Amino acid sequence: MNERMEAERRVVIVGAGMAGVQTAVALREQGFTGRVLLIGAEPHQPYDRPPLSKAVLLGTAEGSAFDVDFEALGIELRLGVEVTALRPDAHEVDTEAGPVPYDVLVVATGARPVALPGSEGVRGVHLLRTLDDAQRLRPVLDSRHDIVVVGAGWIGAEFTTAAREAGCAVTVVEAAGRPLAGALPDEVAAPMAAWYEESGAALLTHARVAHLEPGEVALEDGRLLPAEAVVVGIGARPATNWLAGSGVALGPEGAVTADAYLRTSAPDVYAVGDCASFPSARYGERLMVHHWDNALQGPRTVAAAIAGEAARPYDPVPYFWSEQFGRFVQYVGHHPAADTMVWRGDPDGAAWSVAWLRGDALVALLAVGRPRDLAQGRKLIEAGTPLDPGLVADPSVPLKSAARA
Ligand SMILES: Cc1cc2nc3c(=O)[nH]c(=O)nc-3n(C[C@H](O)[C@H](O)[C@H](O)COP(=O)(O)OP(=O)(O)OC[C@H]3O[C@@H](n4cnc5c(N)ncnc54)[C@H](O)[C@@H]3O)c2cc1C
């Protein structure tokens, strides 16, 4: 494509979260000279989400706006504007303010938290996804309310950590028998239940909310829990309702089913971040990753494809972290691909890891307070280095030294 043609191309990115912003930035980094328009439904300057359940919630940081000079990069921002529909034949999206044409469209609309049935619009019930949500929760923490947290997942654990730090009485209601059900195997997540008790929060497992009363949460087993506030953290689903009728193929949970280059089934339309799934050749299955690193890496593939660089298939080793109960928890890889699990250290101790192997190759690693394991494990997974499982099991041996000679 000649320079004049590229300068006239218009890339429209829908969703001004991590994935949308990183796509815009990566386009410029990769030398794209055409127009870049970033449309976001939220009125705020684009911001990062992980601090919302940590420093922003505790008031030790005011906000988490991305440090990006959009003007200097020639990225046009249209904030507080919701995109309501996509018409691929016309190469247009619809907004409340009228249609917007595109040459290339990037769908980066992220995910929306799942609401507790019957709780929508009920006073005192909170979700934690946006800056507005975090700002609404700050006074709740300041006034040291009795809080019921529904769901002992990543958000539930981080919110509970902050609320206990602020001095609130917290009861966590979890339908499964342990925290992080669905994310980690039973035996790995089981020791994490003690972290709640240790922080002074009560964790009720095998417990389900029946209904909400003013100032109380009623459980199915008849128990009533005092609750001046309820925080719901029971998962998130791709924010793709606006694509209904567009012909863009969606998977069972509503994720855009992108291909290995993050292209969708519609011409000139890409999808990236929490809203999309992609086929992983590395793990032999389609992955939907709702973590920050995926919203950082995926945009580079999209931008390379749009800028006409020799794009490589998107096939990352997934990575995420969580800060909970004074611990730094990190995970890399995809453990369902493993056939063996190896403990490195005592899960009742302050620092330990779990390694998952397929044959003698590492495929996933969970590190609690052992960031060096994580950093070394990530490289070993990427390289597929054969390891000695006996040495992997010895926490005094650096993971990289477990490589077979
Ligand atoms: C509280 C919290 C803490 C987290 N902590 C961690 C962590 O510690 N570690 C980690 O690895 N991950 C963490 N995550 C996950 C990580 O933040 C997400 O994976 C990441 O934000 C995904 O980026 P995204 O751009 O795909 O989606 P989002 O961040 O959801 O951004 C999508 C944007 O699109 C906008 N949008 C949606 N629909 C439309 C529309 N129709 N028109 C216009 N705009 C629209 C939304 O308003 C939103 O601003 C956390 C998430 C949350 C909510």
CA distance 299 to 278: 13
- Å from CA of 18 to ligand 1 middle: 7
- Å from CA of 208 to ligand 1 middle: 27
SS3 state of residue 324:
strand
Mean pLDDT on 290-302: 98
Cβ–Cβ < 8 Å for 229, 200: no
Q: Is the pLDDT of residue 3 over 70?
A: no
pLDDT value at residue 1: 59
Closest residue by Cα to atom 19, ligand 1, is: 291
> 47's torsion region: left (phi>0), alpha (psi -120 to 50) or beta?
beta
Instruction: Spell out the residues 6+ positions from residue 143 whose beta carbon is closer than 8 angstroms to its own.
Output: none
**Count of helix runs (H) and strand runs (E) in the chain:** 10, 26
Residues with CB under 6 A from ligand 1: 14-20, 39-42, 49-50, 52-53, 82-83, 108-111, 128-129, 155, 239, 242, 273-275, 290-293, 295, 320-322
Average pLDDT, the chain: 96
The DSSP element (H or E) to which 161 belongs, if any, is helix 154-165
Cβ–Cβ < 8 Å for 100, 82: no
| Atom from ligand 1 closest to the CA of residue 46 | 49
pLDDT value at residue 213: 85
Mean pLDDT on 255-271: 98
Closest residue by Cα to atom 24, ligand 1, is: 110
Q: Is the pLDDT of residue 7 over 80?
A: no
Closest residue by Cα to atom 9, ligand 1, is: 321
pLDDT value at residue 320: 98
DSSP 204: E
| Atom from ligand 1 closest to the CA of residue 15 | 34
| Atom from ligand 1 closest to the CA of residue 18 | 25
| Atom from ligand 1 closest to the CA of residue 53 | 1
End-to-end CA distance of the chain: 49
- CA dihedral over 275, 281, 282, 286, signed as positive or negative: positive
Mean pLDDT on 112-117: 95
CA distance 138 to 128: 11
Q: Which long-range contacts (CB under 8 A, 24 or more apart) does 94-101 make?
A: 95/39, 100/12, 100/37, 100/39, 101/10, 101/12
**Least confident residue range of 4-13, 35-44, 225-234, 298-307:** 4-13
Mean pLDDT on 179-192: 94
- For 23-58, how does the pLDDT look when each residue is reduced to its tens digit (9 = 90+)? 999 999 999 999 999 999 999 999 999 999 999 999
Listing DSSP states for 208-262 in one string gives -EEEEETTEEEETTS-EEE-SEEEE-S-EEE--GGGTTS---B-TTS-EE--TTS
- CA dist 98 to 14, 83, 95, 307, Å? 14, 9, 5, 27
Cβ–Cβ < 8 Å for 56, 64: yes
Cβ–Cβ < 8 Å for 128, 149: no
pLDDT value at residue 255: 98
| Parallel/antiparallel/unpaired status of strands 10-14 and 35-40 | parallel
| Atom from ligand 1 closest to the CA of residue 128 | 1
- Å from CA of 239 to ligand 1 middle: 10
Instruction: Spell out the residues 6+ positions from residue 86 whose beta carbon is closer than 8 angstroms to its own.
Output: 92, 93, 94, 105, 107, 242, 243, 246, 248, 266, 269
Closest residue by Cα to atom 27, ligand 1, is: 110
